[in-house]
Amino acid sequence: AFDVLVLGGGPAGVAASIYTARKGFATGIAAERFGGQLQDTLGIENLPGTLYTEGPKLADELGRQVSENGIDLMDRAIAKKLIPAEEKGGLHTLELENGATLQTRALILATGARWRALGVPGEQEYRNKGVAYCPHCDGPLFKGKRVAVIGGGNSGVEAAIDLAKIVEHVTLVEFDKALRADEVLQNKLRSLSNVAILVNAQTTEITGANGKVDGFVYKDRESEEEHRVDVAGVFVQIGLVPNTEWLKDGALELNRIGEIETDESGRTNLPGVFAAGDCTVEPYKQIVVSMGAGSAAALSAFDYLVRHAPA
């Protein structure tokens, strides 16, 4: 059995594993895909201390740090069930899809999240070539250009407000008859002179030329007419889905949208089970935030292990 098993090999999981390994605990990482969302990320310019890097390169460096610290890495390992310890200090069991089971005294869940995709033609083809999901990350790439934000909830409207400061013009596209964001955000958005708002508009295609986005097509849901808008970027903001479906019917507390409930130190409702990063209720889904949360969860696990002798 492990002292500490970390589930997930993204920034949160790796940070957690480095901390517990350096405390001298036998630490393992089980991950479906080592690197997590970093494997899908092109340029990273907001990681303090690193002027510029690319997702897969950062994932490689994290991989080196994992092996330097003697952490047991199990890649392509997908968890399907958690059986929590029956008493404090007891062993938690994780069942994997390949039939194996892993046991650990402390468990750190860092399974991350995935952006909800629109599912229209052009979206996959132009991903990272104008189709973006993270305004904090990719907004500056569209400086002085025209962009669209798809989604009129809080994240879409916040993204549009944020982008309007950098880009030339933002078109916000909402499928429903009205925006769903908080009133104060909607008012702020409407006060901006370089923003247009389309409601009742169904995005049907993202178009491109020469390997880059050049616009999108939407259908006016009332008139059924199709329109095309020229933009250099499309930010899809229709939700982030935590990778916690497999935990849904268990004893671990999740919120309404499936995020793991944690306190400020990464403790969950189950003794000896901790969580960090994009799979939790943490509102800011970013690399540096996930790394910080991973280290905090690891220190909480350390605190738990030194207080509870093996059962």
Binding site for ligand FAD (CB under 6 A): 7-13, 30-34, 36-38, 40-41, 44, 46, 77-79, 110-113, 115, 133-134, 137, 243, 246, 277-278, 285-288, 290
Cβ of residue 66: shortest distance to ligand FAD, in angstroms? 12
Instruction: Write out the catalytic residue numbers.
Output: 134, 137-138
What letters, b where the CB count within 10 A reaches 16 and e where it falls short, cover 203-226?
A: bebbbbeeeebbbbbbbeeeeeee
Tokens of 121: 């033609």
Residues 6+ away with beta carbon under 8 Å from 209: none
Nearer to ligand FAD, 28 or 152 (CB): 28
Taking the chain, what is the end-to-end CA distance rounded to the nearest angstrom? 13
Q: Is 109 left (phi over 0), alpha (psi -120 to 50) or beta?
A: beta
Nearest residue (CB) to ligand FAD, 186 versus 262 = 262
Please state the closest distance from residue 258 (CB atom) to ligand FAD, in A. Answer: 12
For 143, other C-beta atoms within 10 Å of its C-beta total 10
**Coil/strand/helix, residue 37:** helix
Residue showing the smallest CB distance to ligand FAD in the complex: 112
Q: Which is nearer to ligand FAD, 36 or 156 (CB)?
A: 36
Least distance (Å) between residue 136 CB and ligand FAD: 7
For ligand FAD, the closer of residues 78 and 299 by Cβ is 78
Query: At closest approach, how far in Å is the CB of 226 from ligand FAD?
Result: 28
Residue 49, exposed/middle/buried by CB under 10 A (0-12, 13-18, 19+)? exposed
